[in-house]
Amino acid sequence: MRVKKRHPRKNIVVRDAHRSIVFLSPTVAGYQHDYTRFKECDFPDPLPQEVCGWVDLGFQVMATAYPYLNVVMPDKKPRGGELTDEQKALNVLKASMRGGVEHAIGGLQRLHCMA
């Protein structure tokens, strides 16, 4: 049986250090860049200065748009180059922090909160 391709559904999920979901954006169907979706949702602006943002590479613009925030994101491999062993190890640590967000998203999907 062949499955037809479908447009993805996008949400922005923000979680705190206590593994509680503090913000869930409305679901939007179709292709849209993560940061564009973040700017269009009703997230409080300006963001508080004490916030540390652990984001993925879909939010690269966030570091320049919010210079006062501590934005932590994985290092990107340079074109035609390789990451150093130290950068790779840091990316593993950053990915492990991101795993908590993925677990929160999975919990939302199990509870059918995102449709």
Residue 30 placed within a domain: yes
Q: Tell me the residue type at 74.
A: P
pLDDT at 2: 63
- Its domain, for residue 103, covers 9-110
Would residue 115 count as lying in a domain? no
Q: Which position has the higher pLDDT, 87 or 69?
A: 87
From the number of C-beta atoms within 10 Å of its C-beta (0-12, 13-18, 19+), residue 86 rates as: exposed
Report DSSP state, residue 15. E
Note whether residue 88 is domain-resident.
Answer: yes
Q: Name the pLDDT band for 59 (thresholds 50, 70, 90).
A: confident
Is the overall model pTM greater than 0.85, yes or no? no
In a domain, 1, yes or no: no
Number of domains in the chain: 1
HEC profile of 39-69: HHCCCCCCCCCCCEEECCHHHCCHHHHCCCC
